[in-house]
Amino acid sequence: MRDFASSFYKGKMWKCTRDAYGASRGWLCEDCLVQGRYTVGEIVHHMVELTPDNINDPSITLAWSNLRLLCRDCHGKRHRTDAKRYMVDELGHIRAL
């Protein structure tokens, strides 16, 4: 979480919105459901990224139309950049994913 958003994500309004939204989706990842998979959704994602300019705008931060419940894998895919990601194999060698 970015510094400018820390107090928002720790606040009661976000926690209530997050919990209500997740419950409304049955706590299932919305991206996985589109693909016919049933996966537990863990992260309520903002479709329009939060910035210092919009962090105090409830039409962006709290509007259900800007939210999507995702599993960790789908959330990672949405935030993945073109930067290479790496793993360490069983022999301790660093390998690109």
- Find tokens 């693909």 and name the residue: 35
Domain of residue 16 covers 3-96
Burial of residue 15, with CB atoms counted within 10 A of its CB: 0-12 exposed, 13-18 middle, 19 or more buried: exposed
Torsion of CA 21, 23, 26, 27, to 10 degrees: 80
Number of domains in the chain: 1
More confident residue, 92 or 47: 47
Average pLDDT over every residue of 41-55: 95
Average pLDDT over every residue of 68-75: 94
Is the pTM higher than 0.85? The answer reads no
